[in-house]
Chains A and B, each alone.
Chain A
Amino acid sequence: MRTVPALLAALFACVAAAGADDAVIVNGRATTTALSEDELRAFFLGKRTTWEDGTKVVVVVLRGGGSHESLLQRLGKSPQQFITGWKKLVFTGKGSMPEQVNSEDELVALVARTPGAIGWIDAGKVADGVKALPLR
Chain B
Amino acid sequence: MPVRRAPMPRLCATGALLAIATAAAHAADDHNLQFHGFASQGYFLTRNNALFTSESQDKGTFEFNEVALNAVATPVDRLRVGIQLFAQDFGDSFNNKPQIDWAYGDYSLPTYGVLDLGITAGRLKMGHGLYNDYRDLDVTRTSVFIPMAVYNPRLRDYFLAVNGLGVHGTVNADAFGSFDFMTYLGGQSSDPHEGTIHDIFFDRGLDLDRVHIEAVDGANVTWNTPLEGLRLKYSLFNLRGLDVAGTIQPGAIVPLIPGSAAQLNFNQLWDTIVSVEYQRGDLTLAAEAEYWYLKGLLHGDAGIPVTIPVYQIIHSAYLSAAWRLAPQWEVEGIWQWNEVDTVTAAKDKFYGFTAAVRFDPIEHWLIKAEYTWIHGTSLLRAAEQPHAGFDEVWGYFALKTTFDF
Q: Are B34 and A96 in contact (CB under 8 A)?
A: yes
Task: Assess the A49–B104 pair: CB atoms within 8 A.
Answer: no
B72 touches A49 (CB 8 A): no
CB distance from B69 to the nearest CB of A (A): 10
A:99-136 near B, CB below 8 Å: 99, 114
- Check B108 for interface membership: any CB of A closer than 8 A: yes
A47 to B222 alpha-carbon distance, docked (Å): 13
Closest to B80 in A: A49
Contact of B324 among A58, A76, A80 (CB under 8 A): A80
A39-82 vs B, CB cutoff 8 Å, 1 = contact: the mask equals 00010000111101111101000000000000000001011110
Q: Residue of A at shortest CB range from B228?
A: A76
Q: Which of the residues A52, A76, A88, A91 comes within 8 Å of B229, measured between beta carbons?
A: A76
Contact status B111-A52, CB under 8 Å: yes
A3 at the interface (CB under 8 A from B): no
Interface string of B148-184 (1 = CB under 8 A from A): 0000000000000000000000101000001010000
B36 contacts which of A50, A54, A90 (Cβ < 8 Å)?
A90
Q: Which single residue of chain B is at the shortest CB-CB distance from A89?
A: B72
Write the nearest CB–CB distance from A22 to chain B, whole angstroms.
Answer: 20
Query: Shortest beta-carbon distance, B279 to chain A, in Å?
Result: 7
User: Is residue B338 contacting chain A, with contact meaning CB distance below 8 A?
Assistant: no
Report how far A97 CA is from B363 CA in the complex, Å: 14
Complex Cα distance, B73 from A90, in Å, reads 11
Interface residue? A84 (CB, 8 A):
yes
- Quote the shortest CB–CB distance from A63 to chain B (angstroms): 9
CB contacts (< 8 Å) of B110 on chain A: these are: 52, 54
Shortest beta-carbon distance, A39 to chain B, in Å? 9
User: Quick check: is B82 within 8 A (CB to CB) of the other chain?
Assistant: yes
Interface code B33-46, partner A: CB below 8 Å = 1, 0 otherwise?
A: 01010100000000
Flag if B172 contacts A78 (CB, 8 Å).
no
Is the Cβ of A81 less than 8 Å from the Cβ of B279? yes
Q: Say yes or no for B202: interface residue by CB 8 A criterion.
A: no
Q: Considering the complex, give the chain A residue whose CB is closest to the CB of B32.
A: A56
A5 on the interface (CB 8 Å rule)? no
A53 partner residues in chain B, CB cutoff 8 A: 77
Of B31, B77, B125, the residue contacting A58 (CB under 8 A) is B31
Confirm or deny: B94 has a beta carbon within 8 angstroms of a beta carbon on chain A: no
Chain B residues whose C-beta falls within 8 Å of the C-beta of A93 in the assembled complex: 70, 72, 80, 82-84, 102, 104, 106, 125
Contacts of A92 in B (CB 8 A): 102, 125, 133-134
Q: Which residues of A contact B185 (CB under 8 A)?
A: none
Once A76-B229, A83-B363, A96-B72 are accepted as A-B contacts, the answer to whether A54 and B34 lie under 8 Å apart by CB is no
Q: Known: A76-B228, A91-B134. Is A114-B31 also a contact (CB below 8 A)?
A: yes
* Interface residue B243 (Cβ < 8 Å from any Cβ of A): no
In the bound complex, residues from chain A placing their C-beta under 8 Å from that of B178 are 38
Residues of B within 8 A of A84 (CB): 139-140
The tally of residues in A whose CB lies under 8 Å from a CB in B reads 31
User: Which residue of A has the minimal Cβ distance to B102?
Assistant: A93
Query: Given B111, B137, B170, B360, which contacts A87 in the complex, CB threshold below 8 Å?
Result: B137
Name the CB-closest residue of B to A55: B77
B68 within 8 A of A: yes
Q: Which of A38, A49, A93 has the most CB of B within 10 A?
A: A93
- The answer to the question of B327 belonging to the interface, with a C-beta cut-off of 8 Å to chain A, is yes
Q: Which residues of B contact A78 (CB under 8 A)?
A: 281-282, 324
User: Is the beta-carbon distance between A97 and B133 smaller than 8 angstroms?
Assistant: no
A45 CB to nearest B CB, Å: 11
The interface residues of chain B lying within 8 Å CB-to-CB of A99 are 31
Q: How far is the CA of A84 from the CA of B140 in the complex (A)?
A: 6
Q: For the complex, is B191 an interface residue (Cβ under 8 Å from A)?
A: no
Given contacts A79-B327, A96-B34, A97-B36, contact A90 B102 (CB under 8 A): no
Contact B172 A38 (CB under 8 A): yes
Query: Do A49 and B108 touch across chains, with their CB atoms under 8 A apart?
Result: yes
Q: How far is the CA of A43 from the CA of B384 in the complex (A)?
A: 48
* A88–B279 CA distance with the chains assembled, in angstroms: 16
Instruction: Return the chain B residue nearest A56 by Cβ.
Output: B74
Most buried by B among A47, A90, A91: A91
- Tell me whether A91 and B70 are in contact in the complex, defined as CB-CB below 8 angstroms, given that A54-B110, A79-B327, A81-B279 are known contacts: yes
Apart from the given pairs A50-B77, A58-B31, A91-B134, 18 other A-B contacts in the complex at a CB distance below 8 Å = A47-B116, A49-B80, A49-B108, A54-B78, A54-B108, A56-B80, A78-B281, A79-B327, A80-B324, A81-B279, A87-B137, A88-B133, A88-B140, A90-B72, A92-B125, A93-B80, A93-B102, A95-B72
Give 26 CB contacts A-B under 8 Å: A42-B116, A42-B170, A47-B180, A48-B116, A48-B170, A49-B80, A50-B78, A50-B108, A53-B77, A54-B110, A55-B77, A56-B74, A78-B324, A79-B327, A80-B327, A87-B137, A87-B404, A90-B72, A91-B68, A92-B125, A93-B80, A93-B82, A93-B83, A93-B102, A93-B106, A96-B72
